[in-house]
Structure 1
Amino acid sequence: MSLTTPQRRLLPLLPAHPGGRSAMTCRYRCGNACFHDAPNTSSNEYFGDVMSQVVSRRTVLQAGAVLGLVGAVGAGTGTPAAAHPVGDGAPGLKFSPVAPNTTDAVVVPPGYLHEVVLRWGDPLFDDAPEFDPLHQTAEAQERQFGYNCDYLGLLPRRGRGNFLLVANHEYTNEELMFPGYDPENPTREQVEVAWAAHSLSVVALTAERRGRRSGGLDAVVGHRLNRRFTMRSEFELSGPVAGEDLVTTKDDPEGRTVLGTLNNCAGGLTPWDTWLTGEENFHQYFANAETVTEAVAAERLRRYGVNEGPSDRKWERYDDRFDVAAQPNEPNRFGWICEINPFDPDSTPRKRTALGRFKHEGATIRLTADGRAAAYMGDDERFEYVYKFVSRDRYRKGDDDHNATLLDNGTLYVARFTGDSPGEITGTGTLPADGEFDGSGEWIPLATSADGEAESHVEGMSGVEVLTFARQAGDAVGATKMDRPEDVEPHPQTGRVYMALTNNTNRGLPGYAGPDEANPRVENKHGHVIELRESDDDAASTTFAWRILLVCGDPADPATYFDGYDKSQVSPISCPDNVTFDSHGNLWIATDGNQLGSNDGLFGVALEGPYRGQVKQFLTVPVGAETCGPWVEDHRVLVHVQHPGEEEGSTFENPLSHWPDGGVPRPSVVVAWRADGREIGSA
């Protein structure tokens, strides 16, 4: 990729939109969720204050678990910052950090190269037309890479340097996609292009191009495993909710086949080589919830934020399944985790109902001590919950038929966090007397699924109701309201679980939940990261210890915290979103909605040794874009650059970003590597 002189724009230090993203992003991505009251109006008491007054065998055991976590991961601010050596970083993070900037380009450290692998509209099949932004059709888009790529996963395929890329296409921004777009009167063609631009892609990649420098990748157009899923693709409902009245419609009276998947955000890969993708802000695509007058049904729609009137995209004008007045159960068919087998191009994806329905950021898997699958999930909205599913059956290596049933049978849990410093949380970010935000917690069972049936553990709700309306089930058992729980991922080496809490500017405002030790700042605009260790280091455990690893923001702000590391030696970070890990055990964080006046980026964080808590920025993305993915290997780093140029006032005719090639901005896959071919972050 050739970089000309980068164009720079001044960004406001504090974006006007309360969620941190631009107003345009919030309109198209989540239907302006931050401008509406948070759907969670439950009066859950903060259990850190309640449980601190209860002395029992459980609390004693949990307190022991907290001490075990601290011992395992190193001291917090009890160790003076000066005791941490100042150097060039932990193994895997030995690079010069990228400075905050507003450049309309991808910026990487000195000595590194990068290029675009795939762009929105790039052909995936031999019969696919070349991208023509002035004359897009649904038929063309169905054969091309989709819009706004979010989750990124790589699976190895036969031959060195050959991979299978799996990618979510979360949402569309029609104002940047179509010339002359009228939001009040979209055409059928524009709507059908958007249906085709949503959903998922599977694309073969190779590093075998002759003469290629180490690190680069190319798409293999026409490969037999290449696949596009769109809003016309069939998905099978599986698990206890499949076939139930709550998911039957006039188009699908059996309640087992759904067309399409919506607003797919993050995801994960399983040990049995399948792909899990989470349906997030599905609510915004449906219209006319106000026509539902029956109290229980109306409250269920409200709790998930379904539009009372018309939708922003007006899809209901061209397909009445998006009109709640015509098909009231259609929203219940979205908000699930979908499982795809990318190595079988003829397979039908499944929506796994045993994992519960909410606004899934994603799902990631860790095996329990006895070999069962534990899936960790966050519900990405203000004051929502963190969940875990543990399968009934054990994973069997190489037994595809058996493993295909793992996520249909097991128990769904929701998390309750208890702080160990009651009365000391001021909401300012000031650490309590013990020097850290930490405590214990428990996984509360909601429902157990077995062979197509669901047993409820929530009084007043059936098992099927618990799974379909998991948010209400979490309300009923007193789960802890979190600050937008996004990616929740277990460390592949240590098993510790890391949770990105992106932000919550409503925390502590009148009428909303106040700060607690797991969410310690009022009007939390920068977010934080929690580290969790389950009892006995077993993913099957129902108790855990937790501590906050990072309280994000400007290191000069006293309210920030970097696990006690010298704050003069860290990169500023705001709004953590997606996370991953490298082979050295470092945590990598992608951001969404940076509120420090810089473009979003990708950051490495040391988790072990004397550098623990040091944050270093590896790259930034262009103006208006979000860093998604990410994927970190020894010799390459991949990210999805989502919604470049998505700022208020940007249009197809006058885009505020021209990345990557000039002209209209195009969401894309980017790979970066060291120019000398050596490992990322090596000395």
Structure 2
Amino acid sequence: MANPSPRRTLPLLSAPHSGGRSSLTCAFRCGNACAHEVSNPSENAYFGDIVTEAISRRGALRAGALGALVVSTGVVGVGAAMPAAADPGGTKDHVLGGHGGSGHGNGPSGLKFTPVAPNKLDAITVPAGYDQSVVVRWGDPVVPGAPAFDFDNQTAAAQAKQFGYNCDYVTLFPMGKDRGLLWVNHEYTDEVLMFRGYVDGNAAPLEQIRIALAAHGGSVVEIERAGKTGKWTLVTRGSRKYNRRITAQTPMRFSGPAAGSALLKTAGDPTGRNVKGMLNNCAGGTTPWGTVLTAEENFNQYFVGGNGVPEDQKANLARYGVSTTAAIPSGSRRFDRVEERFDLAKHPHEINRFGWIVEIDPFDPDSVPIKRTALGRMAHEAATTTIAKDGRLVAYMGDDSRFEYIYKFVSKDRYVPGFDRHNRGLLDEGTLYVAKLTGDSPAAEIDGTGKLPSDGAFDGSGEWIPLVSGTRSYVPGMTAEEVLVFTRVAADKVGATKMDRPEDMERNPVNGAVYLALTNNTNRTAAQLDEANPRPSNRHGHILEILESRNDAGATKFAWSLPLVAGDPADPSTYFAGFDKTKVSPISCPDNLAFDADGNLWISTDGNALGTNDGLFVMPLAGRERGFVRQFLTVPFGAETCGPMVTEDQRSVFVAVQHPGEITGATPDNPSSTWPDGDQPRPAVAVAWHKQGKKIGS
């Protein structure tokens, strides 16, 4: 979606791991989640168990949500409702912009570049005719007066003023045509690569732990365009008054229905309304009023003492992936050694204060970040906003873990353009929903081979099930506060659909459809196959397309389909929306998503299980090139591609290069990557552009 206009211009480190991630990444990014038992023990039905109901509803679906989607000719960003839709006839190819159709959305994608070949180079590679450069890297000064980076003489005080470690979600708030504020999440730290001789959190010097706390969070940096090109650089002169670092120790506050709840109260905050810092911020979103929404993901790994919490709290802890048997889980960073709040045996509610969507105003460096409790608590991915037909604000969210769920929030009140004071309260009151999906084909036709069912598509219907609205709970046996703090448990109870690591969700600015990256799930067995997750031991992931009834983000019914089942195109289990698979780029483990103004879907990957570097891909969603996946760039060896973000003028694409060189066995004395400066690997944000100033991809 388009960027909103700003207000003021307006360790198991040697163990093998499934998928393409190194064991080093698994240890530090998510606390070896894939090595533990799945945290969702619910008996919620898989698609294959409820197909009969789906088939009986199929006729109504075709005449409703699916048949109502049209592709508009204009671009609609956040803060604007999608156009009303007329029924174009109901056929799949026509509605979804399929091959050979003659209706709306069959124009050219505008993509003409030669795809980058898969590789294992220690560099960013871009197509012929393009260039790239680093915008900002770990340790670069952010706050005026910050010292220059010194790898062998780091301090927590310096890091709190410098660009943080691993970078994930990226967005740009324009300040005119050639200047803007770049927001970047700092997801997690990898102490093995950050410090020479690091062994583990038990033995680490306390200053290293303090540095790690300061390296989490996010950064606001002012950037400017280099001349008339698509290149962007840091603004290094003047006051840089907007530049800011948010860390794991920045004062924040809670808002919404759970603020002040007993479940959020601790010895350090008996009010349950004030919290220190944010952790493991992964994807995110923006609001129509010009703020960033950043998502706390794998927060569970930072805590110890789960064995010492009261017995009646252990089930909820386990549901969020916290060990309730080990005093100090293997691989712990031991933040509790410098801040006691990370010891759950002493402060059992502290963990409830993480796992939220956090709103931050990039234009006010003195503002207090807000954790919005009305959006629920989970391993949050994204908070992509749009406006429903009746003017209400809608936010889409994933929960990035195996067999977890898809959510959306719909505000009670309507968005009013320009009425900032009113709009700032929209995220505090509304209805939180979770998705239940149903396949429309017989279970026998979903056999794991990749063969499409007899109706020609992996597709079906779905509904958004309400969990909580304000102080009203829709979940029997749970209060509204309990639903918001233990959202996973609430979703279990209402029968939500288990998915394969629901990641980033984005809404197409051209046709209004919503797209979800499902990264992978090697734990899915043949007995658990369903139409939305059609492969066992899903190493490569897929993309889900959601078409809400009447093309209205506020609707509670939707149709869905799978336009992409990722992997090696030669593998019969892959699917590229029916496009000729001999022409597409191989793609594995879709993670973050973005759109350009033409409605092309940009896909970054995390943990390429095909054995080559991760990258950035683009896939048209309409016309004869629907499903024509092409690789636009690759990131350096050992890195993950995050972001991405295409500027409104489509002359630049930003990517966050997360954890370069994060390969098992790598250390500062034996680095597996020297990107970007030829010495120690440093996570960074990079930008790519066409040398002749053309649109990205053209």
What is the CA deviation profile of residues 286-326 of structure 1, one whole-angstrom value per residue up to 9, with x for unaligned ones? 012111242x3100000001133314101112211110001
Query: Which position in structure 2 is the counterpart of 1:487?
Result: 504
| 2:342 pairs with 1:322 | yes
Alpha-carbon distance in 2 for matches of 1:73, 1:113: 42
What displacement does 1:677 show?
1.6
> 2:536 — aligned with what?
522
Which position in structure 2 is the counterpart of 1:128? 146
- 2-structure distance, mates of 1:160, 1:41: 51
The answer on whether the counterparts of 1:48 and 1:417 sit within 8 Å (CA) in structure 2 is no
CA distance in 1, matches of 2:163, 2:606: 22
Q: Work out which of the residue numbers 515, 518, 540 in structure 2 matches 1:501.
A: 518
Distance 1:394 1:427 in 2: 44
Task: Give RMSD over aligned pairs.
Answer: 2.1
Counterpart position of 1:52: 52
- The answer as to 2:438 corresponding to 1:418 is yes
**Residue 429 of structure 1: how far off its partner (Å):** 2.1
Q: Which runs of 5+ in 2 are unaligned?
A: 1-14, 70-87
Structure 1 counterpart of 2:604, from 566, 576, 590: 590
1:203-218 to structure 2, matched below 5 A, reads 203-207=221-225, 209=226, 212=227, 214-218=229-233
Write the distance in 1 (CA, Å) between the matches of 2:91 and 2:505: 18
The alignment partner of 1:362 has SS state of strand
Extract structure 1 runs of 4+ deviating beyond 4 A: 67-74, 76-84
Asked if the contact 1:377/1:386 (under 8 Å) is kept, the reply is yes
Name the CA distance, whole Å, in 1 between partners of 2:98 and 2:488.
Answer: 42
In the TM superposition, what are the counterparts of 1:498-577 in structure 2 within 5 Å?
A: 498-508=515-525, 514-577=528-591
Cα drift, residue 75 of structure 1: 2.3
- State the shift of 1:90 in Å: 4.4
Q: Which residue of 2 aligns with 1:4?
A: none
The percentage of aligned residue pairs carrying the same residue is 57
User: Cα deviations across residues 258-299 of structure 1 (Å, max 9, x unaligned)?
Assistant: 1000000000111111100000000000012111242x3100
- Does residue 112 of the first structure (1) align with residue 130 of the second (2)? yes
Q: CA deviation at 1:83?
A: 10
Q: Deviations over 1:512-567 (max 9, x none)?
A: x7011111110000000011100011111000000001000000111000010000
Question: Contact (CA 8 Å) 1:63, 1:440: kept in 2 or not?
Answer: no
Residue 223 of structure 2 contacts residue 232 of structure 2 at CA under 8 Å; is this kept in 1? yes
1:462 corresponding residue in structure 2: 479
Task: Provide the C-alpha distance between the structure 1 equivalents of 2:498 and 2:270, rounded to a whole number of angstroms.
Answer: 36
Establish whether residue 623 from structure 1 lines up as the match of residue 637 from structure 2: yes
Residue deviations 1:439-459 (CA, integer Å, cap 9, x gap): 00000000001xxxx210011
**Which of 408, 425, 449 lines up with 1:388 in the alignment?**
408
**Cα contact 1:97–1:109 (8 A) shared by 2:** yes
The match for 1:62 is 61
CA shift, 1:483, in A, is 0.2
Tell me the distance in 2 between the aligned counterparts of 1:185 and 1:97.
Answer: 47
CA distance, structure 2, for counterparts of residue 466 and residue 432 of structure 1: 37
> Does residue 138 of the first structure (1) align with residue 159 of the second (2)?
no
In 2: Cα distance, 1:407 partner to 1:266 partner: 18
For residues 430 and 144 of structure 2, the distance between their equivalents in structure 1, rounded to whole angstroms, comes to 42
Instruction: Pick the aligned partner of 1:427 from 427, 441, 448.
Output: 448
2:352 partner letter? N
Could you say if the C-alpha distance between residues 94 and 625 of structure 1 is closer, same or farther in structure 2, counting changes exceeding 3 Å? Answer: same
Q: 1:639 aligns with which of 651, 655, 660?
A: 655
Letter of the 1:197 counterpart: A
Q: 1:79 to 1:247 in 2, by over 3 A?
A: closer
> Aligned ranges for residues 149-188 of structure 1 at < 5 Å?
149-157=167-175, 159-183=176-200, 184-188=202-206
Matching residue's letter, 1:164: L
Match of 1:441 in 2: 462
Provide the C-alpha distance between the structure 2 equivalents of 1:219 and 1:298, rounded to a whole number of angstroms. Answer: 47
My pick for the range that moved more, 305-314 or 357-366, is 305-314
**Residues 1:471 and 2:485 are matched in the alignment:** no
Selected match of 1:97 from 95, 115, 118: 115
Structure 1 residues 60 and 75, CA gap change in structure 2 (3 angstroms): closer
Q: In terms of mean alpha carbon deviation, does 428-437 or 364-373 score higher?
A: 428-437
TM-score, normalisation: structure 1: 0.92
Whether the aligned pair in 1 keeps the contact of 2:513 and 2:546 (CA below 8 Å) is: yes
SS of the aligned residue for 1:75 comes to: helix
Corresponding position: 1:403 with 2:440: no
2:318 aligned with 1:297, yes or no? Answer: no
Q: Is the 8 A contact 1:66 1:439 kept in 2?
A: no
Structure 1: 5+ residue stretches without partners: 1-14
Cα-to-partner distance string for 1:399-458 (whole Å, 9 max, x where unaligned): 111111000000000000100002221123221111110000000000001xxxx21001
1:248 aligns with 2:265: yes
Question: Whole-Å Cα distance in 1 between the matches of residues 467 and 319 of structure 2?
Answer: 18
Shift of 1:68: 4.8
Looking at structure 1, the residues matched to 142 and 293 of structure 2 have their Cα atoms a distance apart, in angstroms, of 22
Is the counterpart of residue 219 in structure 1 residue 230 in structure 2?
no
- Give the CA deviation at 1:220: 1.7
**Is 1:377–1:487's contact at 8 Å kept on the other side of the alignment?**
yes
